[in-house]
Amino acid sequence: MINDTNWHEKHKATLNVGSRLADSVAKGMGSWKFIIVQTILVVLWMTLNIAAFTYHWDVYPFILLNLLFSTQAAYAAPIIMMSQNRQSERDRLQAQADYQTNIDAKLEIEALTIQLNKLEVEKLDVIISLLNEMKETK
């Protein structure tokens, strides 16, 4: 039976729940969907606080909104860095796998070259012996 699991699938299988969650958060926060939804929420927040007739829960300069952004950044930065560290590890593993593949290919090419040279020498030996036999029969 052939093992169809590649290095990326093996690496992904070793990730724990926290690692997978960090990757998901980083992927989500690095998307246009996140930027658009956050922009809509910020505009809505500011509009409701500026135009509110009865209750302004976060008056200009929106200190609560700034606090929310600071908290988001405080949690997002280390989570994204964890995901980037894992990406670096994946890249290192891929480079190592590529290097090993190149080494194996090099060894195989060298073995094939030796085999071809051996066949060529054998053919030349046969040709020379045939030529010598032809000389002797003349």
- Terminal alpha carbon distance of the chain: 61
Q: Using H for helix, E for strand and C for coil, what is the string for 25-73? A: HHHHHCCHHHHHHHHHHHHHHHHHHHHCCCCCCCCCCCHHHHHHHHHHH
Query: Would you kindly state where each structural domain of the chain is located, as residue ranges?
Result: 17-137
Mean pLDDT score across all residues of the chain? 88
- How big is the chain by its Cα radius of gyration, in Å? 33
Share of the chain above pLDDT 70, in %: 93
| DSSP run (H or E) holding 129 | helix 63-137
pTM recorded for the entire structure: 0.61
Q: What is the pLDDT of residues 66-99, one digit of tens each?
A: 999 999 999 999 999 998 988 898 899 889 989 9
